Amino acid sequence: MVKKYIALFCSIFLLLGLVACTDTKTEVEEEADLTVVGFSQPGAESTWRVALTDSVKEAFTEERGYKLIYKDGKSKQDNQIKDIRTFIQQGVDYIILCPIVETGWDTVLEEAKAAGIPVIICDRNVVVSNESLYTAFVGSNFKAEGEDAISFLEKVYTDESRPINILHIQGTIGSSAQMGRSEALEKAVEEHDNWNIIGQECGEFTKAKAREIMKNWLAEIAADEINVVYCENDEEAMGAMASMNEAGIEYGVDTDIMVVSFDATSAALEMCLNGQINLEVECNPLQGPYLYNIISTLEKGNAVPKIAYVDEGYFTKDMLSKDIIAGRKY
């Protein structure tokens, strides 16, 4: 009788083991079916970048057949290069690279190419010796963004001959975002005899750095000498405005100090609607769907365009309402 129970127990145990084995095998098989995408971000310096990360994570889900491996480069190009090498060792199917700066990628992109891994450049661009080192670029047209800001300033200061003094807080030097936005301003200053950049420093796209830069400038420059504060992203604009608040300086619509910013995040658009920011040039972080289109097209063996710019516009107070801001995703 005891033997009979032992036999029954063993059979149940074996059966359970078999079921467990079958389950595990199915999971492994499912995992093997997923397309693996390595995603290298330069950091998380801004609300904008967090929105970009979220957009990419939402696009590449397991339900859609993807496994996304996200790496944060902690604001260092060397870390991003290491992350890409890790992706290559892991044998990912695709790499998405948001490059912190434009140059210095040739070697690691050659390694990815040698491993047969297509690389999609996202957000900012790269300058490489050979365009075949990456498959496609999707991101912003930073030159057009800068030109939008300049067209706005030219309209405001048209027919003005008095000096127009500009404080310029730049983004990470060498990034496409900084270069496009800075070049547009520098070119305009060359073209307008009465436009002057009276302060120019790098705020690294962060609120803290921009706040410090603005505080130092305000210790040396009188408020009535300032006409424009040109900030290369919303974090920097927030930092500059915090320092002006501390110094009791008025800025924005109906004052003599214009604030121009890039990104158009919801918090900044609220400030634009309130009249604190005169112009918000949009930088669209919702790039996940564009990347998904590119990679799913490549998966089907079809060709993709080499360059795809995301849709972007700009906002002034009169173009905004609470409803418009509430309807936006970032």
The interface region with ligand AHR, picked from 25-33, 42-50, 129-137, 272-280 by CB under 6 A, is: 42-50
User: Is 182 a binder of ligand AHR (CB under 6 A)?
Assistant: no
Instruction: In angstroms, give the least distance from the CB of 39 to ligand AHR.
Output: 15
Q: Is 204 in the site for ligand AHR (CB under 6 A)?
A: no
Q: Is 282 in the site for ligand AHR (CB under 6 A)?
A: no
Among 51, 283, 291, 295, binds ligand AHR (CB under 6 A): 283
Binders of ligand AHR in range 8-27 (CB under 6 A): none
Q: Is 48 in the site for ligand AHR (CB under 6 A)?
A: yes
Considering the complex, state which of residue 207 and residue 317 has its C-beta at the smaller distance from ligand AHR.
Answer: 207
| Interface pick for ligand AHR out of 40, 41, 46, 276 (rule CB under 6 A) | 46
Q: Alpha-carbon distance 45 to 36, whole Å?
A: 26
One residue of 149, 166, 177, 259 binding ligand AHR per CB under 6 A: 177
124 binding ligand AHR? (CB under 6 A) = yes
Q: Does 93 bind ligand AHR (CB under 6 A)?
A: no
Q: Which of 205, 217, 290, 315 binds ligand AHR (CB under 6 A)?
A: 205
Nearest CA to 195 out of 135, 246, 154 is that of 154
168 scored as a contact of ligand AHR (CB under 6 A): no
Alpha-carbon gap, residue 58 to 330, rounded angstroms: 14
State which residue, 100 or 325, has the beta carbon closest to ligand AHR. 100
> Of 66 and 205, which CB lies nearer to ligand AHR in the complex structure?
205
Q: Is 262 in the site for ligand AHR (CB under 6 A)?
A: yes
Say whether residue 211 binds ligand AHR (CB under 6 A).
no
Per CB under 6 A, residues contacting ligand AHR are 45-46, 48-49, 123-124, 177, 205, 233, 262-263, 283
